[in-house]
Amino acid sequence: MRTDVAARGPEGSAFARASSRGARHFVLGVLGVLVLGIVWQIGTWYLVSQPETRAFGNFGPIPTFQAFPRLWEQGRIQSAINASLVDRLATGLFIAALIGIPLGILVGRSKWFREISHSPFQFIRMISPLAWMPLAVLVFPGWNWAIVYLIVIAAVWPVTYATAAGLAKLEPAWYKVARNLGASRIQILKEIVLPAIAFDMFSGLRLALGVAWIVLVPAELLGVTSGLGYAIKDARETVDYSYLTAMVLTIGVIGFLLDSIFVALINRYSWYHRRTAS
């Protein structure tokens, strides 16, 4: 229902319609966030009105926004983002892609591999990343690598299976045509396979990002002293709830921005010029 009728229209009106739709989209989005903020404030009022839960008043939006300048000054936000995003999340996702995409191609192309790997992959996939923690502590030389491992082991599955799904959509006829035209295997990979699976690959990476975010917070319970997950832990330990909600908001915003990048990539490579619904 939100399929792009505009995309099929003439150039000029498409742009006009797209930009007015974009503006409307933006305004409604802001409205939605405002509604969220109001709900948040109502919840806080309720918390504060009960004597039992008054101590949790700092969860509210006002203390949270007041906490931001303080935290920024102390450099805590920047260092947490740096430690989590750059060192751990990016590395973890990169390795997950590095392992997941070739694995996905294998799963998609080779029936034998798909069947042999089905049971062990499904099995490992079901193990909560946190159950890996004692093993990770034992095996990896540093805390950062243990955390990266936890992210990889959670994020590699969406990438693998999405890539495999993308491969399954390829028409076998295309391989025939390519081979008839004299394409080498590399050329087939570059010109046919990769563009075709790009959409699903990015969908998989997007899912992987989502899972990685969820895992990051408990993963940073390991012996590190920096990072967004550590900040959440620190905030809970020191019962500083405005700090907690400020960091939660930060995570939410960053996560949203990263996710939007992936959505843009997905739409760019989408065959049907269809806007992703979410």
Task: Give 41's contacts (C-beta < 8 A, 6+ positions apart).
Answer: 60, 61, 62
Examine residue 3 and tell whether it contacts another protein (CB under 8 A).
Answer: yes
Give min distance, CB of 194 to another protein, in A.
21
The nearest distance, CB 231 to another protein, in angstroms, is 10
Q: With binding defined as CB under 8 A, does residue 105 bind another protein?
A: no
Separation CA 230–CA 80 (nearest Å)? 8
Q: Based on CB atoms, which residue is closest to another protein, 139 or 185?
A: 139
E-assigned strands of the chain? none
Answer yes or no whether residue 47 interacts with another protein by CB under 8 A.
yes
29 binds another protein (CB under 8 A): yes
Q: Would you say 226 and 80 are in contact if contact means Cβ atoms under 8 Å apart?
A: yes
Instruction: Determine which residue in the list 8, 11, 12, 50 makes contact with another protein, applying CB under 8 A.
Output: 50
User: CB 184 → another protein: shortest distance, Å?
Assistant: 28
Does residue 86 bind another protein (CB under 8 A)?
no
Per-residue contact flags (x/-) with another protein for residues 244 to 273, judged by CB under 8 A: x---xx-xxxxxx--x--------------
Nearest residue (CB) to another protein, 173 versus 277: 277
Show Cβ contacts of residue 157 under 8 Å, excluding neighbours closer than 6 positions.
100, 121, 125
d(C-alpha 48, C-alpha 275), whole Å = 42
Question: Using CA atoms, how far apart are residues 120 and 80, in angstroms rounded to an integer?
Answer: 36
Amino acid identity of residue 269, one-letter, is Y
Q: Assess contact for 152 and 94: CB atoms under 8 A.
A: no
**Tokens 């969908």 found at:** 203
In the complex, least distance from residue 28 CB atom to another protein, rounded to whole angstroms: 4
Nearer CB in complex with another protein: 83/198: 83
Tell me: does residue 9 bind another protein (CB under 8 A): no
Cα(217)–Cα(228) distance, integer angstroms: 7
Q: Of 124 and 177, which has the nearer Cβ to another protein? A: 124
- Pairwise CA distance, residues 150 & 156, whole Å: 10
Nearest to 248 by CA among 263, 264, 262, 234: 234
What string marks each residue from 203 to 242 as x (binds another protein by CB under 8 A) or -?
A: ----x--xx-xxxxxx--xxxxxx--x--xxx-xxxxxxx
What does the per-residue mask of binding to another protein show for 161-200, with x meaning CB under 8 A?
Answer: ----x--x--------------------------------
Q: Is 42 one of the binding residues for another protein (CB under 8 A)?
A: no
* Binding flag, residue 11, another protein (CB under 8 A): no
